[in-house]
Amino acid sequence: MGKFMKSGKVVLVLGGRYAGRKAVIVKNYDDGTQDRPYGHALVAGIDKYPLKVTKPMGKKRIAKRSKIKTFVKVVNYNHLMPTRYTVDLNADKNIVNKDVLKDGAKRKRARTEIKQKLEERYKTGKNKWFFQNLIFSLLRYV
């Protein structure tokens, strides 16, 4: 079976603080590393999705509702569910990489870099499904 967890692949985070959030693989480590001897990936995703925007809203309100909160994290493959979709992020590899996550200031810089890329993509209207919250309608059947 081929390797399908590649950079640009959209995944769902299944466990932890960001469970149920969509993310994009920035870099994958199929064979693991010295400190993490299992398959894992550096993912960048959306922590807080943009809110719905309607026609009568003003520019200021639209700008406020179109904000995105992002996260950058290293996640075990067992806690990721791949989708068939891909998103080309074009993130700067010097700013967004695994070593950056150890330092708080650099981590924040990486998050803002991802935030700019995702907001730019949201405003152009590409990949609308990526910027919508996952809704599980299980309560209907209870």
Confidence of residue 1 (pLDDT cuts 50, 70, 90): very low
Residues 97, 26: Cα–Cα separation, whole Å: 8
**Cα 116 → chain centroid:** 12
Share of the chain above pLDDT 90, in %: 65
Q: At residue 142, does pLDDT exceed 80?
A: no
What is the tens place of the pLDDT at every residue in 84-126? 999 988 888 888 888 888 888 999 999 999 999 999 999 998 8
* Other Cβ atoms closer than 10 A to 32: 13
Question: What's the pLDDT at 140?
Answer: 55
Chain mean pLDDT for the chain = 89
Output the six-digit token pair for 83.
């989708």
Q: At residue 138, does pLDDT exceed 70?
A: no
Q: What stretches of 30-87 adopt beta strand conformation (E)?
A: 40-48, 69-76, 80-86
Question: What's the pLDDT at 67?
Answer: 93
Q: At residue 83, does pLDDT exceed 50?
A: yes
Q: At residue 62, does pLDDT exceed 90?
A: yes
Q: What is the dihedral of CA 18, 129, 101, 89, to 10 degrees?
A: 170
The amino acid sitting at 114 is: I
Overall average pLDDT of the 59-84 stretch: 94
What is the tens place of the pLDDT at every residue in 4-25? 889 999 999 998 999 999 999 9
Residues 124, 136: Cα–Cα separation, whole Å: 27
Beta bridge partners of 46: 70
Question: What's the pLDDT at 91?
Answer: 80
